[in-house]
Amino acid sequence: MEPSGPDAFYAAAARAAADRELNRKLENASTRHFEHLAVAVSEFAPYQSERDAARRIKEESIERLDELLAELKQRLEARGVKVFFAEDAAAARDYIVRVARQAGVRRVVKGKSMTTEEIGLNPALEQAGIEAVETDLGEYIVQLRREPPSHIITPAIHLSKEDIGELFAEKLGTAYTSDPPALTAVARERLREVFLSAGMGITGVNFAVAETGTLVVVENEGNGRFCTTSPDIHVAVMGIEKVIPRFEDLSHFLEILARTATGQRLTAYTSFLSGPRAADDRDGPRETHLVVLDNGRTRMLADPVLREALYCLRCGACLNACPVYRHIGGHAYKSAYPGPIGSIVSPSLFGAGAAGHLPFASTLCGACKEVCPVKIDIPRILLHLRWKMTEGGGGQVAWPQAPARVRAAAGWFARAARYPSMMRAAGRIGAFLLKPFGHDGYLRRMPGPFAAWTRVRDFPVPSGGNGASGRETK
Ligand code: SF4
């Protein structure tokens, strides 16, 4: 899913914010996540030192990216893996569709992969006449609803078990139930025959170890392992930033990833993949492909502030922590990557015209940085991106300029703010002019460009120099 500019975002965000049922589901899910996270962290004393170690490894990995990717490619190719570097989403899609067509594949099973969401793989496969079936339970549910995931870890976070029961009854013709084990059993039974008839499995990659040429996939349902071993062809898709130097580095990531993502000590399945099956292997794919995707990541790499976004493990914790995400959910962002991490990577991945508004969709409260397992300074990056948007240039991304009236107003304010006497005089004039329109000291509706403020909160009538505090909601 690709963002489609600010207007679509504002309209979807307003609808989502007014949806009380959605707000309740998101709040429940986020609260549960933090309860589990608190327990997982409290029983693991080295949590903070593991975060520091993981961050140091990511710093090193991004610093040595060229060298590590070359080493990874060489090790994998030596074992028969076909490695393809895709400059953009279209190149990655075309390559995967070509491999499927050449092998006569009619059905593909997919493990959960945000990178394939980013490149819009499912519609491309569908267009080529190839059925793509999501096999992660949450992804399977949202695919049945023909909608994108609304969270990078829990794709169906916006649905209740009752919603899923109704969906299965309607789409799969099963008797209605809202019992989670019964619903899981239905999906399991349906997917089993799909796995056995698929000619290709497609998954993401959580870590790619350069030293050993190992692709690591972590998941909880076993579907990822099925996708990588049962079909004749396995295609793994990863961003360039997933490479890490050494096998021993993995332990630090595995200690923190499951804890921050789901509050577990360890994910249920950790698969180490090294290539197609050998002559004496009893199972495994006959062909393995690795698609290594750039799609704007080298632009991030070239920006000294933004490059930190490449440390991301896609754990999803910053989404759960973010007051904006918790209010509007993932669909409103209209990006494969919603929430705080989405707001900092989407402009580079999808273009500033489509997603340059997302860095503004934040309160800058800092909760995302606090919870991030590799301590990415998301608020700093958000401010950096806002600066780029407002200044209308810098870096290698073609950032659109803020409208002339906004730049002019910001310039006037900057000049006035340098002179306290001028600010006091402006406050007194404002208080005099606005007082007649106030109720209990607040304005319910403001005209012109100020209307956006009072759409969601009241504005305090200026005190004329005595100070005033705002109130949050209408
Ligand atoms: S930015 Fe940090 S918290 Fe957010 S998804 Fe990435 S690793 Fe997780």
CA 204 – CA 237 distance, rounded (Å):
5
| Residue 151 alpha carbon to ligand 1 centre in Å | 12
Q: In what order do the strands lie in the sheet with 233-239?
A: 82-86, 287-293, 233-239, 200-204, 107-110, 131-134
Q: Which of 416, 423, 428 is CA-nearest to residue 462?
A: 428
Residue 157 lies in a domain: yes
* pLDDT of 373 over the 50 cut: yes
Q: Is 382 in the pocket of ligand 1 (CB under 6 A)?
A: no
Residue 466 lies in a domain: no
Looking at residue 398, its amino acid is A
Contacts made by residues 434-438, CB under 8 angstroms, sequence distance 24+:
434/461, 434/462, 435/461, 437/461
Mean pLDDT of 61-78: 98
Q: Is 342 in the pocket of ligand 1 (CB under 6 A)?
A: no
Q: Is 375 in the pocket of ligand 1 (CB under 6 A)?
A: no
- The protein residue with its alpha carbon nearest to ligand 1, atom 2, reads 372
Which pair of tokens denotes residue 298?
Answer: 């080298």
| Residue 303 alpha carbon to ligand 1 centre in Å | 19
Kindly report the average pLDDT of the chain as a whole number: 92
Would you call 293 helix, strand, or coil by DSSP? strand
Q: Is 167 in the pocket of ligand 1 (CB under 6 A)?
A: no
Q: Is 316 in the pocket of ligand 1 (CB under 6 A)?
A: yes
Q: Do 359 and 269 lie in a common domain?
A: no
Residue 377 lies in a domain: yes
Alpha-carbon radius of gyration of the chain: 25
Q: What is the pTM of this model?
A: 0.87
Specify the residue for token string 């008797």: 175
Q: What is the pLDDT of residue 473?
A: 45
Q: What CATH number does residue 143 fall under?
A: 3.40.50.10420
- The protein residue with its alpha carbon nearest to ligand 1, atom 4, reads 318
Which pair of tokens denotes residue 381?
Answer: 């990056």
Domain count of the fold of the chain = 3
CA 345 – CA 342 distance, rounded (Å):
5
Q: Do 276 and 397 lie in a common domain?
A: no
195 bridge partner residues: none
Strands 82-86 and 287-293: parallel
Q: Do 166 and 223 lie in a common domain?
A: yes
Residue 281 lies in a domain: yes
Q: How far is CA 222 from CA 11, 137, 142, 184, in A?
A: 38, 11, 19, 13
Mean pLDDT of 130-140: 97
Q: Is 339 in the pocket of ligand 1 (CB under 6 A)?
A: no
Mutate which of 319, 376, 381, 382 to test ligand 1's pocket (most atoms within 8 Å of Cβ)? 376
CA 184 – CA 157 distance, rounded (Å):
16
| Residue 240 alpha carbon to ligand 1 centre in Å | 17
- Express each pLDDT in 205-227 by its tens digit: 999 999 999 999 999 999 999 99
Q: Do 83 and 204 lie in a common domain?
A: yes
Q: What is the pLDDT of residue 439?
A: 84
Q: Do 120 and 229 lie in a common domain?
A: yes
Q: Do 125 and 252 lie in a common domain?
A: yes
Residue 467 lies in a domain: no
Q: Which domain holds residue 108?
A: 54-295
Band the pLDDT of 470: cuts 50, 70, 90.
Answer: very low
Band the pLDDT of 392: cuts 50, 70, 90.
Answer: low
Measured at the CA of 364, the angle between CA 120 and CA 354, to 5 degrees, comes to: 30
Band the pLDDT of 401: cuts 50, 70, 90.
Answer: low
Closest atom of ligand 1 to 316 CA is 5
Band the pLDDT of 393: cuts 50, 70, 90.
Answer: low
Q: Is 261 in the pocket of ligand 1 (CB under 6 A)?
A: no
